Amino acid sequence: MQHKLYYQDPYITEFTASLIGQGIDDNGRPYVILNQTAFYPTGGGQPYDTGELNGTAVIDVEEVGGQIRHILEHPLEHTQTVSGRINWKRRLDHMQQHTGQHILSASFEQLFCAATVGFHMGSEIVTIDLAISDLSWDLAGQAEELANRIVFENRIITPRFVESEELKELPLRKAPTVTENIRIVTIEGFDHNPCGGTHPARTGDVGPIKVLGWEKNKGNIRVEFVCGARTLQVLDKKQRILRDATRLLISSETELAANIERVLAERKNLEKQLGEANDKLLAYEADACIAAAVALGGAAWIQRIYSNRPLPELQKLAKMIADKEASAVVLLFSTGNRTQVVAARGTEVVLSAGDWIKEIMPFIGGKGGGSAAIAQGGAVTEIPAEEIVQYALDKLKAKLAT
Ligand SMILES: [Zn+2]
């Protein structure tokens, strides 16, 4: 039986131990087993510790068949005594996130009867799944406030193994997942919870707890939060973003939202003005097209080829021409990666633009359609627009002749 120093005192960072076993795991990684260890193995939602044994990096720690395996970067030199040192920054972070979760979960439960049914400690944020269907910033704020009050009151945290008789008397927040060696973590006057992780001696070591947001997840609410040093990292990151945003908008932090609203409203207004100006330009362009129309039978033949012009603009121009000139037959192209064609006709012309487009499209391997007044089609094609125009014109002449 190995002595778990992390249970005896979670603040132990350095220790010496005797080697009692070693081997190679299923992934081909060398490992050692010690008579005692401060290295916490992955379990109960808390990740493993890293660190070193006799200067060799410990890259993973697992409990397999009741034995704690220290998985090493390289095998240890032949030795009986080992000195170990854990990465305290990583361990403290795990203790802060993990214990912060106890406190925040208990706060949600005590205030709103919202039980925690899931927990995940990520490398940046921590989440709990609450068995509730909705959450508001007001309620989340109340839970956060209670949790931080428990932190700042610096209450004593006592983990201990209890017998099943005593277990029945304790008001546990959730049932233990194991049936023997049940370890209960008590936060003085606040919470009792079964847990096999490592915890600081007092709640003050958890540091500030901050709820960042939440989302709906499989009928529950998944709350994202951070604790301790991570809270400062998040604050720093948000501060940088805020600093950039206030600099770009030449705004104070408090007026930032109002200034963003103002800029968005200005943009909307400018887009409207730009749209109106574009329509005026299109009207001039339509007039110029009509003035340069070529007589074709009794109709006014108007044909233009543009490069990379948006289809909605071609349609608008074609419609304007047809609305202004009752005898117009219009065929507009946009060339580029894709060839777009718009056909339209004035009210005096006996022609279905839709039928005409349907006759043109097979020539370029494309599809199209529309009404009798205006239609469009397109394809990715190597055929030059001038050839398509000639083809379309032949079809048009045949149609107008009938
Ligand atoms: Zn715990």
Spacing, Cα 163 to ligand 1 middle (Å): 18
pLDDT at 1: 67
CA–centroid distance, residue 164 to ligand 1 (Å): 19
Residue 186 lies in a domain: yes
CA of 205 to the centre of ligand 1 (A): 14
Would you give the end-to-end CA distance of the chain in angstroms? 101
Domain assignment of residue 257, yes or no: no
Q: What is the CATH number of the domain that holds 192?
A: 3.30.980.10
Question: Can you count the helices (H) and strands (E) in the chain?
Answer: 9, 21
Question: Do 305 and 342 sit in the same domain of this protein?
Answer: yes
Residues 382 and 295 in one domain: yes
Give 40's pLDDT tier (boundaries 50, 70, 90).
Answer: very high
pLDDT digits (tens, 9 = 90+) for 296-346: 988 999 999 999 999 999 999 999 999 999 999 999 999 999 999 999 999
Q: Give which of 20, 8, 168, 160 is closest to 81, Cα–Cα.
A: 20
Residues contacting 181, CB < 8 A, separation 6+? 161
Residues 152 and 71 in one domain: no
Model pLDDT, residue 118: 93
- Regarding whether 182 and 130 lie in a shared domain, the answer is yes
Residue 265 lies in a domain: no
17 has pLDDT over 70: yes
* Residues 20 and 105 reside in one and the same domain: no
Q: What count of other Cβ atoms lies within 10 Å of the Cβ of residue 228?
A: 23
Question: What's the pLDDT at 165?
Answer: 75
Using CA atoms, how far apart are residues 163 and 196, in angstroms rounded to an integer? 15
Q: Are 98 and 46 in contact (CB under 8 A)?
A: yes
Same domain for 224 and 299, yes or no, is no
How does residue 401 score in pLDDT terms, banded at 50, 70 and 90?
Answer: confident
Assess contact for 143 and 111: CB atoms under 8 A. Answer: yes
Cα of 25 from ligand 1 centre, angstroms: 28
Q: Which residues contact 75 (CB under 8 A, 6 or more apart)?
A: 22, 30
> 224 CA to middle of ligand 1, Å?
18
The pTM score is: 0.76
Dist CA 342 CA 355 (whole Å)? 12
Task: Give yes or no: residues 305 and 358 share one domain.
Answer: yes
Residue 76 within any structural domain of the chain: yes
Shared domain for 235 and 316, answered yes or no, is: no
Considering the domain architecture, whether residues 176 and 42 belong to the same structural domain is answered as no
* pLDDT tens track for 84-117: 999 999 999 999 999 999 999 999 999 999 999 9
For 21, residues 6+ apart whose C-beta sits below 8 A from its C-beta are 32, 33, 67
CATH of the domain at 51: 2.40.30.130
Nearest to 99 by CA among 221, 188, 4: 188
pLDDT band at residue 171 under the 50/70/90 scheme: confident
Q: Does the residue 249 lie in any domain? A: no
200 CA from centroid of ligand 1 (Å): 10
| Other beta carbons less than 10 A from residue 216's beta carbon | 11
Taking 70 as the threshold, does the pLDDT of residue 361 lie above it? yes
Whether 103 and 12 share a structural domain: no
Backbone φ and ψ of 282, nearest 5°: -65, -35
Q: For residue 81, what are the contacts with CB-CB under 8 A and spacing of at least 6? A: 16, 17, 18, 19
- Domain end point (choices 86, 113, 135): 86
Q: What is the DSSP letter of 202?
A: B
Domain interval for residue 378? 290-401
Question: Over 80: is that where the pLDDT of 174 sits?
Answer: no
CA atoms within 13 A of residue 76's CA, in its CB half-sphere: 26
Distance between Cα 184 and ligand 1 center (Å):
9
Residue 358 pLDDT greater than 70, yes or no: yes
d(CA 69, CA 41): 8
Residue 53 resides in a domain: yes
Asked if residue 303 and residue 236 are part of one domain, the reply reads no
- How many domains does the chain contain in total? 3
Using one digit for the tens of pLDDT, what is the confidence trace for 108-166? Answer: 999 999 999 999 999 999 999 999 999 999 999 999 999 999 999 999 999 998 887 77
Residue 196 alpha carbon to ligand 1 centre in Å: 6
